[in-house]
A = this chain, B = another copy of it.
Amino acid sequence: LPVTDAPAKPDRPAGLRTNRMEAFSDGVFAIAVTLLVLELSVPAGSGDHLLRAFAEQWPSYLAYVVSFATIGGVWVAHSVITEYLERADAVLVRLNLLLLLVVSFLPFPTRLLAEYIRENRPERVAATIYGITLLLASTMVSVLWRYAVRRRLVHPDSADVELQMITKRLTPGLAGYVALIIVGLFLPLVAVFGYLAIALNILTPFGLIRRRQQPRP
């Protein structure tokens, strides 16, 4: 007769539990998103015209909002993935670390973008570096999900149609980023607004996918 012999942590499936992966990821997402504020400042000695100096920082605010929305979008996608995840394996944990590497790197391109968006030549470089980082983050989310599905790390009761729907949701963003990186070589500011649109689009419909599991009769 099979006996449950791990009373303290009874649910130990093959592979690592996902709770620490979730906690560590939430920490990195939360910090990356909050560190962005350290880049915001007005030039020293702006006292005489503080309101104007504050308003003139709009590229910083734009970069701040786009990066915040992008990390927020990645976090939502990551939440959906771990919602379906039953367990992790060694490769998944490593892929997740790669995703976190890109996310925690994002404040640097954000700073470059905020600093150089109004200067003619460097703004193209900054927008391209920024776009490539977003593309990498988005790619890693997609890779993470596809790996989890392929290796059957998702809950066995997840419907195939649901899994495919999520795969589809994650794909168009990649094409969008590639297109906008090219656009950004000529019209950097347009590309940045495009990045915002993708992030808001990812943020929008994701949670709606999740349906109540129908109990099997």
Give chain A's interface residues, CB within 8 Å of chain B: 1-9, 11-17, 20-24, 26-38, 40-42, 46-48, 50-51, 54, 64-65, 68-69, 72, 75-76, 79-80, 82-83, 86, 88-94, 97, 100-101, 104-108, 111-112, 116, 119, 121-122, 125-126, 129, 155, 157, 203-208, 210-213, 215-217
Contacts and interface: CB of A to CB of B under 8 A. Distances in A.
B54 A104 contact: no
Contacts of A88: 207
B122 A50 contact: yes
Q: What secondary structure prevails in chain A residues at the interface with B? A: helix
In the assembly, how many copies of this chain are there? 4
A9 to B, nearest CB: 7
13 contacts: A2-B215, A5-B157, A7-B11, A14-B210, A16-B79, A20-B22, A22-B23, A27-B31, A28-B34, A37-B106, A54-B129, A65-B101, A76-B97
Nearest to A215: B2
A83 to B, nearest CB: 6
A21 B211 CA distance: 18
A129 to B, nearest CB: 6
Contact of A30 (B24, B65, B80, B111): B24
Contacts of A29: 24, 27
B155 A108 contact: no
A50 B42 CA distance: 22
B121 A41 contact: no
Contacts of A65: 101
Contact of A20 (B26, B32, B106, B129): B26
A23 B24 contact: no
A121 B38 contact: no
A11 B9 CA distance: 9
Contacts of A91: 207
